[in-house]
Amino acid sequence: MTTCPSDETIAALVEGALVEDERGALELHIAGCPACAAIVAELARLVAPDEAAAATATIGRYELAGPLGSGGMGLVLEAFDPLLARRVAVKIVRPDRPLARARLLAEARGLALLADPHILTLHDVVDSERGVCLVTELVDGDPADVWCRRTRPTWPQVQALYLQVARGLVAVHARGLLHRDVKPANVFVGRDGRARLGDFGLVGDGTAALGGTPGFMAPEQAAGAPIDVRADQFGLAMAMIHAVAGTVVPAGTAAAALPRTIPAAAREVLARAIAVRPNDRFDRVADLASALEAPQRRWRLAAAGLGLAAIAAIAVLAWPVAPPVVAEPEVVAPEVAGADESTLLVAWTEAMHENDADRCAVVVTGLVAIDKEKYEGHRAICEMLAGRCKAGVAMLSPAVRAAAASTVFDYCPADGDIPEERADRALGQGKRGRSPAACADRATWVTTLAGTPEDAEKFAMNAIQCFAGIGDCAAAREQAGVLAKLRATTPALELARVAAECDR
């Protein structure tokens, strides 16, 4: 679809009156057309209140609140779970949509088999007088297509987001399942930056092509031929291209024809992933993810194990306790003079992704000029990116230095680059850590570094992953108990979600 649809067609979409193929083509157009997206949102707002009012005040134990969205399958409402004192999302199937009911049940069964931080969490399924209702976590954020229109992300931000989705897909495929409909509208981006893959209405363990969305469907899926994990890989790569280009490209598009805002090495990877023939793609989604990350695999602290989230947490809580070693002037560098805080934070994140210590130091001068107390500690991270680990650690506050020293020096034992083989081992372990001391550090962060409940949950999850990564499942179970208390759930549930290898 190259032209905008009529108002009648958009209304039919909102009312659920379009057949599958028409709906898929229209959704693809809307994903790249802000004007049509705004019309759909307004129509959904007008339609949804009538449907919501028709619903009873509760479904099961869930107290219904306002509508979150409306479409061909039915209505999605925000609700409150009084038993666990948390907000949830309730997806209600339209009673006159038997196919939608079957898809919702398929989605529930698929989600019930999966436990991963990057997959939408299923809480409950309710069979009420209104039909089957799916109760999931309520993501405080936006679908990825909306997120892209709102934030206009850079390539490093797009890659970081969709590498999380890749990890979720790896978990799906590890269960012998296929998602079959990977697209931006089915990726939910939380305010915490965590991506969750949702809408498992087409999930299954067979090779049948089933539905999907034109543009994001692999050619073999669109043709109704048998598919495998490489079809999901196609959708993932196309979603990444869409995030940068604002539209999809034809299957088989060469790397040279992809947007130049994507680095050359990444264009080659994406071009392979959207090849027309499945045999020309990567064998697994994990291979695609590894190929995208490969250019960054030179040793730096950010790429060697702590990850951006942990580094940023340390930086926010840091302040210099010794004369700074970073050789930037105290005045703002000309390159960033006049830039606002949000622009500088994006530039700082990009410097972290690219392991660019010089750019990090330049950007920090602008941040420090805006809020010295808040951003002075970021200088420590620039030092570590430059390979001056001891100097960077010395710039942290005593409390943070004590909490993080074992983790830092586990990856950064001395100034300068570490041997390549050690870097490979560190990268292989990733956020899971490499030593009991590093994991023990992370276990303390829940109480020593966390400034908010959200931070505490992140650090608890990180500790579980760390202990599981070194095979200490007893310690991982103990940390799962900590996370369960924070989330008002059970240790077994949290262990299954975060470290399934210990849930045996």
Domain ranges in the chain are 7-137, 152-286, 297-434, 435-504
Is 431 annotated as a binding-site member? no
Place 188 in a pLDDT band, splitting at 50, 70 and 90. Answer: very high
Weakest mean pLDDT among 258-272, 283-297, 337-351 = 337-351
**Per-residue pLDDT, 315:** 47
Tokens of 395: 């710039």
Place 11 in a pLDDT band, splitting at 50, 70 and 90. Answer: low
Mean pLDDT of the chain: 74
| 234 vs 325: CA distance, rounded Å | 46
**Per-residue pLDDT, 233:** 97
Asked if residue 137 lies in contact with residue 120, where contact means CB atoms within 8 angstroms, the answer is: yes
Asked if residue 54 lies in contact with residue 74, where contact means CB atoms within 8 angstroms, the answer is: no
**Per-residue pLDDT, 323:** 35
For residue 322, give every residue at least 6 positions away whose Cβ sits within 8 Å of its Cβ, in sequence order, or none.
394, 395
Closest CA relative to residue 268, chosen from 288, 286, 244: 288
Closest CA relative to residue 238, chosen from 217, 207, 261: 217
pLDDT at 442 over 70: yes
Neighbours of 101 (CB within 10 A): 17
Class of domain 152-286: mainly alpha
152-286 shares the fold of 7-137: no
Q: Which residues pair with 86 in a beta bridge?
A: 81
**CATH 3.30.200.20 for domain 7-137:** yes
**Per-residue pLDDT, 8:** 59
Convert the pLDDT of each residue in 266-309 to its tens digit.
Answer: 999 999 999 999 999 999 999 999 999 876 543 333 333 344 34
At 63, which helix (H) or strand (E)? strand 62-70
Convert the pLDDT of each residue in 29-70 to its tens digit.
Answer: 777 776 667 666 655 554 444 444 444 478 888 888 877 765
Among 88-92, 215-219, 357-361, 433-437, the range with the most confident prediction by mean pLDDT is 215-219
CA dist list (Å): 424 to 16, 220, 297, 414, 429:
51, 36, 8, 17, 9
pLDDT at 368 over 80: yes
Active site amino acids? 181
Tokens of 28: 């693809």
